[in-house]
Amino acid sequence: MSNRVEVRFSGSGGQGIILAGVILAEAAAIYDDKNAVQSQSYGPEARGGASKAEVIISEGEIDYPKATNIDILLALTQVSCDKYSSDLKPGGILIVDPQEVKKVPKGEFTVYSVPIFQVAGEKIGRRIVGNIVALGAVVGLTGVVSRKAIEEAVLSRVPRGTEELNLKALQAGLEEAERLKAK
Amino acid sequence: MTPRAEGEKKGRDVRLMQGNEACAEGALAAGCRFFAGYPITPSSEIAEVLSLYLPRVGGNFIQMEDEIASIAAVIGASIAGVKSMTATSGPGFSLKQENIGFACMAEIPCVIIDVMRSGPSTGHPTGPSQADLMQTRWGTHGDHPMIVLVPSSVREVFSETIRAFNLAERFRTPVILLMDEILAHMREKVVIPDPAEYSVVDRLSPGGPKDKYLPYANDRDVSPLAAFGEGYRFHITGLYHDETGFPTGLPEQVRCQAERLIGKIERGAEEIRNVEQIVPEDQQGSLDTVVVAFGSTARAANHAVKEAWQRGKNVGFFRPVTIWPFPIRELGEFCRGVRRIIVPELSFGQLAGEVRKWIEPSSRLVPLNRVDALPISPEEILDRILEVD
Amino acid sequence: MAFDYEQYIRPSTFPHIWCPGCGNGIVVKALIRAIHKMGWSKDDVVVVSGIGCSSRTSGYLDFNTLHTTHGRAIAFATGIKIAKPRLHVIVVTGDGDALAIGGNHLIHAARRNMDLTVILFNNSIYAMTGGQYSPATPEGKMASTAPYGQVEPNFDIVRLTEGAGASFVARSTVYHAAQLEGYIAKALDREGFSLVEAVTQCPTVYGRRNRTPNPVTFLEHFKKDSVPREKAEKMTDEEREGKIITGIFVDHPRIGFIERYRKMSERASEVRKRRYIQGSGPKSEVGN
């Protein structure tokens, strides 16, 4: 069970949090040939307010499907950061969009600030691909799935005709990660 | 269709699927070609997936006006010879009960999916629960047999849905597949097996002269079932009937049919039952503690049991995959001489009550109940295992 | 030569359960003659019924027969018809069965234009359970649960099913047996949802409570107070009071459900690959 990795994406409804979770899980399960379980908040929560998607990745069987001891947390809003950061484990990684999350919680974890929506808006020209930029940043900073896997997973999920746009977004996220790691 | 790693794994069909999707896919694999349902959270994705696929494979999908009509149409389609299914959640399942009894009595194969949510009444539509356990067994009135399957992974939802159809056809009876909201909505890796890797059972068709056909013969547990329109022109009723299918009030006939109805499942129980039993690899002597759980709770229990092994605890794990008929013999043997039996479940003790009936009086039963629409965590179960008593 | 009813019945199921003077037998005979007129093989005919006196009809007829739960015959029949469209599916039901407990199925089958023929035996009462008032019991009439007279207005079955979208709707009475047979034959011939209301009598539990215990009184009433639709249209509301208006009220050929579903399936089969859950279109986010 030691290779169990728990990832939580959180934000507000409409940010594409759940799709990002599905893509990460598919990257792990289908393209990296590991096991993955993905679950999410349901109902009104998924349509606004604070929403979350959780992905558990493991080489072995995954028994308990919910995240309780988070390795990687992505927070795209202050509300979701406040609500979903309490079970981030010591030594874990917190990735926030600094434009949205002004008050970063304190704890024994590493914090990375990635201006996700600014990158999506300015570099790609479409804020809507923020979730894909975020995926790039998460994968670049943590290596939770391989780059090849996340690329293939993104390509298989995004609407036809938007492949190039989304690959650019993914690449932009990966570059942000490289920039931060080089610091 | 969810993406697949085409070509990569030599044609292996690997997908990340929701429990509800796996259920729909399993139904199609089992030969289901008719679905009637009514929208209800958290089961609606089953209907959505089948509304997409059934018309493409020569099957039929219909969203009926209510839950009762849905199960009625499903039984009707099965009578016409087509494997049929409906899916619902607690409130809708309650509404279907009378017609589920009809299917038991008239011995019409069909599959009912119940994705549990908390209740009573509207309850918590998106919160998990396991409190329909007794309703699946005793929801419809009168003495009746019931087969209920409780998968605990998305992969198992696929395979158990196929088994649900197979058992329905084999025993000419409604079969219920019981899921909970967690399993229904979570996505998990599934390697879709090749059709050669699973068997699909079809109901027996009658042979012999059509005017001698007995749809409810006394001398066998399960008679062949002719489909309407094949020249048999027989009668189906929810009244007690004789072996020809026509109503009877003769006590001898009623007793004979009633005993056969219950007996066919009792005598078939060995074939129907399915359990998972896990003991520590280095098990010494009899188990000290056993954890009994089903559905998504079983996953937390499994996790907790493995943690307990690391701490040197002599703990076993028992998971019914078929919950009705209840695995009386298997549970009894597994729990022989056990000091303590922990039963975590998302209800006020529906499973614990049944377990209590079949264990030795010297074993102590420890219920662990959660009814706040949140799952039981592995830590909660581990705490109980480690509790000094 | 007299019509040979026996070729369509199951003698082993007789005697039937209906009381002396009951009108149900007349409706059943009209139904048998109408089916005979269609020239269908008995193997291709399905009769589905619910619960009540009239619903016992299914057991007496030598077709594929299904006696279901109370109110649900139309829903069971819907499943049979969709699963095996080549079968001719007829629903036999009563006023309590079809209008009260089964009312939802009736209006939705009409709305869908489901390819079924419903023969609705209207005896204005729940007879089998002992004479409780039904949605077809006229205001003021006595019933075992209306000891001071029925206070509710009754359904007009014709207007109800017409409004819901039926292709064919007609009404006749057991006094007009030949006309009834003709209407049933027309209904059987139509694509989509067709319904014939057969006004019949229950002298035992309805008649006795309403001072008409003699079946002949009913037949005389059906004869005297029935008014053809064309004539009734020229009458005032006052003149129509207490009358039974007979005739064909709806006969609009429309494509039935089965054919519409078949066409949709053809289109669906042409869709090569589409994802169930996708990041675009109305399902913009997984899980919504």
| For chain B, domain boundaries | 13-197, 210-270, 273-386
Closest to B232 in 3D by CA, of C46, C69, C5:
C46
Q: Which two tokens stand for residue B372?
A: 């706040």
Within 8 A of A66 by CB-CB distance, chain B residues are 182, 375, 377
How confident is the model over B283-303, as pLDDT tens digits? Answer: 777 899 999 999 999 999 999
Cβ of B182 under 8 Å from any chain A Cβ? yes
More confident residue, B8 or B16: B16
Greatest distance between any 2 Cα atoms in chain A: 43
Residue B219: how many other CB atoms lie within 10 Å: 8
> How far apart (Å, rounded) are the C-alpha atoms in residues B25 and B45?
11
Q: Determine the Cα–Cα distance for residues C162 and C231; give it in Å rounded to an integer.
A: 19
Does the pLDDT value for residue A102 go beyond 80? yes
Query: Tens digit of pLDDT for each residue in B322-349?
Result: 999 999 999 999 999 999 999 999 999 9
CATH class, B13-197 region: alpha beta
A5-182: CATH topology = Pyruvate-ferredoxin Oxidoreductase; domain 3 (3.40.920)
Structural domain count of chain C: 1
Q: How would you label B292-329 residue by residue, b for 16+ Cβ within 10 Å and e otherwise?
A: bbbbbbbbbbbbbbbbbbeeebbbbbbbbbbbbbbbee
pLDDT above 50 for C283: no
Q: What is the pLDDT of residues B234-264, one digit of tens each?
A: 999 999 999 999 999 999 999 999 999 999 9
The first and second tokens of residue B40, run together, are: 């209800």
Are B94 and B140 a contacting pair, CB within 8 Å?
A: no
Q: For residue C227, what pLDDT is reported?
A: 98
pLDDT at B228: 98
Asked if B189 lies within 8 A of A64 by C-beta distance, the reply is no
| Residues with Cβ within 8 Å of residue A55, at least 6 apart in sequence | A6, A7, A8, A9, A21, A24, A25, A28, A36, A37, A38
Q: Which residues of C are less than 8 Å from B65 in CB distance?
A: 104-105, 107-108
In tens, the pLDDT along B82-102 reads 999 999 999 999 999 999 999
The predicted pLDDT at position B292 comes to 98
Do C285 and A157 lie within an 8 Å CB cutoff?
A: no
Q: Which of helix, strand or coil describes residue B260?
A: helix
Give the mean model confidence (pLDDT) for residues A125-132.
96
Tell me the pLDDT tens digit for each residue of C125-168.
Answer: 999 999 999 999 999 999 999 999 999 999 999 999 999 999 99
pLDDT tens-place string over residues C163-191: 999 999 999 999 999 999 999 999 999 99
Domain ranges, ordered by start, for chain A: 5-182
Among C277, C281, C287, whose Cβ lies nearest the Cβ of A46?
C287
pLDDT greater at residue A28 or residue C2 = A28
Mean pLDDT, to the nearest integer, of C240-254?
96
**Helix, strand, coil % (nearest 5) of chain B?**
40, 20, 40
Query: C196-242: per-residue pLDDT in tens?
Result: 999 999 999 999 999 999 999 999 999 999 999 999 999 999 999 99
How does residue A14 score in pLDDT terms, banded at 50, 70 and 90?
confident
- In this structure, is residue C229 part of a structural domain? yes
Residue C50 lies in a domain: yes
Of B277, B281, B283, residue with least CA distance to B301:
B277
Instruction: Sort out which chain C residues have CB atoms less than 8 A from B236's CB and list them.
Output: 65-67
**Cross-strand bridge partners of residue A40:** A53
| DSSP character at residue C208 | G
Topology at the third CATH level for domain B273-386: Rossmann fold (3.40.50)
Minimal-distance CA residue of chain B relative to C109: B65
| Residue carrying structure tokens 């809708």 | B92
Helix (H) or strand (E) holding B116: strand B110-116
Do the domains B273-386 and B13-197 match in fold?
Answer: yes
Asked if C46 contacts B79 with a C-beta cutoff of 8 angstroms, the reply is no
> For residue range C46-71, what is the model confidence (pLDDT) as tens digits?
999 999 999 999 999 999 999 999 99
- Quick one: pLDDT at residue A183? 80
Supply the mean pLDDT for chain A. 93
CATH of the domain at C110: 3.40.50.970
Asked if B222 and B203 count as a contact pair (C-beta separation under 8 A), the reply is no
Q: Which residue of A has its CA nearest to B191?
A: A30
Q: Give the structural domain span for C160.
A: 5-270
Q: Does B64 touch chain C (CB under 8 A)?
A: yes
Alpha helices in A100-146 (DSSP H): 116-119, 130-142
| Contacts with B72 from chain C: Cβ below 8 Å | 68-69, 72, 75-76, 78-79, 105
Q: What's the DSSP call for residue B145?
A: -
Which pLDDT value is given to residue A40?
87
Q: For chain B, say whether A27 makes contact (Cβ under 8 Å).
A: no
Give, for B75, the enclosing helix (H) or strand (E).
helix B67-79
